[in-house]
Amino acid sequence: MRKLLLSIIIILSILQCRPKHIEPLPQNGLFWKISGNGLKHNSYLFGTYHKEGGMKILDSIKTFDSIFNLSNQLICEVQLADYFKFSNKKKENNLNSIRNNLKPWPIKDSTYDNLLNNKQKNLLDSCINSSKLLTSFKLANINLRPIDLLYYFNFSYRESLNTSNSKNHIPTNDTLKKYYLDSYIRNLARKRNMKIVSLDSPAEYLEVIDSVDNLYSQLSYSTEVDIMLYYIKNHITINSLRQDIAESYLLSYLKQDLSFSLNTNKQEEVNIYNNKLLYYLENDNFIIESNKLLFDKRNNYWMNKIPKLLIESSCFIAVGAGHLSGEEGLINQLRELEYTVVRIP
């Protein structure tokens, strides 16, 4: 009898320790209805795509407009315009606190003159002269550190590609599809005078970004230069790979495949940098840890707010599709709180 009781206790303990999956974790679906658990109004959860091309998903979701019009308030991620204003202001007030994972630049013993050989200096000069933006910095005697120079060179190069593509673009009636999906949804809400609630404040989002930045090891000046030169030499290949991955990423999204986000992020790091950047950063777990901060931690924080918003009125929750799936995903967390979450075809 005692052995039987012990067996039952052990079995119950194991069952209690198992993950609480009311239903299997979702693998597909971007549009979901939230009901039950005492709610007087249905609410809706929609996974967006933060880059160009996401608008095409609306072609396959015919009920989007009618359901959106049933909602009283739009719940979304941080408004980037507000975030950039807040971030830039804070940088102006206290640069060191924003860039605390980087060493001061420049110092006497670490300048381009003593970090680069003549061949590397010529390569850097060629890079600067190829960009109007970087040339303007040079003329203004703005001394950018290697990591910042890499960022602006990348920005200039991709802008030049966009300009070249736009010259060859033939306008069609489908120009709406070029809009960013998140912006489109916000504009719809404004036209309907819907209340718009951000799940992140600018300060909260900056805290997350700072946490991700702090995962980087503190780079030496020579390592910053190595990364910069590596990008300058390989930027065409790197951007081509980025484009290939972006197309694969978008295709998975348009198929409503919820498993695309984390797998693609990891693939992107490996393919683009051949592990070189991770080697420099000396942190093999960077991708895993950054995803925990950008997705899991924010999901958990949002779930402190979402149930209260669901009680207020019918909500249309529009967040990046990567926030929907997984153990810490919004769908699973809502189900664990005994809401009924059903996919909308």
Summarize pLDDT for 104-123 with one digit per residue, the tens.
Answer: 787 877 789 889 999 999 99
What mean pLDDT is predicted for residues 251-268?
A: 73
Which spans in 168-220 are helix H? 181-191, 202-213
The mean-pLDDT minimum among 178-187, 237-246, 248-257 falls in 237-246
What mean pLDDT is predicted for residues 338-342?
A: 97
pLDDT digits (tens, 9 = 90+) for 183-211: 999 999 999 999 999 999 888 888 888 88
C-alpha separations of 321 from 32, 71, 190, 261 in Å: 12, 20, 22, 8
pLDDT higher than 80, residue 68: yes
Question: Are 337 and 25 in contact, with CB atoms under 8 Å apart?
Answer: no
Q: What is the pLDDT of residue 320?
A: 95
What mean pLDDT is predicted for residues 285-299?
A: 84
Q: Where are the domains of the chain?
A: 5-343
Do β-strands 43-48 and 195-198 pair in parallel, antiparallel, or remain unpaired? unpaired
What tokens appear for 200 in the block?
């992140």
What mean pLDDT is predicted for residues 245-261?
A: 85
The mean-pLDDT minimum among 168-182, 197-211, 238-252 falls in 168-182
- Written as one letter, the residue type at 13 is S
Q: Could you tell me which residue, 230 or 343, shows the higher pLDDT?
A: 343
Q: How confident is the model at residue 290 (pLDDT cuts 50, 70, 90)?
A: confident
Q: Could you tell me which residue, 282 or 35, shows the higher pLDDT?
A: 35
CB atoms within 10 A of CB 153: 22
- Predicted TM-score (pTM) of the model is 0.78
Q: What is the pLDDT of residue 244?
A: 79
Handedness of CA 163, 167, 168, 174 (dihedral sign): positive
DSSP state of 258: T
Q: Could you tell me which residue, 215 or 25, shows the higher pLDDT?
A: 25
Q: What is the pLDDT of residue 217?
A: 66
What mean pLDDT is predicted for residues 129-157?
A: 85
Q: What is the DSSP string of 289-342?
A: HHHIIIIIIHHHHHTTTHHHHHHHS-EEEEEEGGGTSSTTSHHHHHHHTT-EEE
Q: How confident is the model at residue 167 (pLDDT cuts 50, 70, 90)?
A: very low
Cα torsion for 15, 17, 19, 21, to the nearest 10°?
30
Mean pLDDT of the chain: 80
Q: Could you tell me which residue, 206 or 174, shows the higher pLDDT?
A: 206
User: CA-to-CA distance for 30 and 318, rounded, in angstroms?
Assistant: 10
Q: What is the pLDDT of residue 337?
A: 97
**Contacts for 231 with CB less than 8 Å, ≥ 6 apart:** 150, 153, 154, 238
Phi-psi region of 143 (alpha: psi -120 to 50; beta: other; left: phi over 0): beta
Q: How confident is the model at residue 155 (pLDDT cuts 50, 70, 90)?
A: confident
Phi-psi region of 141 (alpha: psi -120 to 50; beta: other; left: phi over 0): left
Q: What is the pLDDT of residue 241?
A: 76
In 3D space, the residue among 274, 287, 303, 304 whose CA is nearest the CA of residue 45 turns out to be 303
In 3D space, the residue among 13, 73, 51 whose CA is nearest the CA of residue 308 turns out to be 73
Q: What is the pLDDT of residue 196?
A: 96
Q: How confident is the model at residue 178 (pLDDT cuts 50, 70, 90)?
A: low
Percent of the chain exceeding pLDDT 70 equals 76
Q: Could you tell me which residue, 249 or 269, shows the higher pLDDT?
A: 249
What mean pLDDT is predicted for residues 306-321?
A: 97
Percent of the chain exceeding pLDDT 90 equals 41
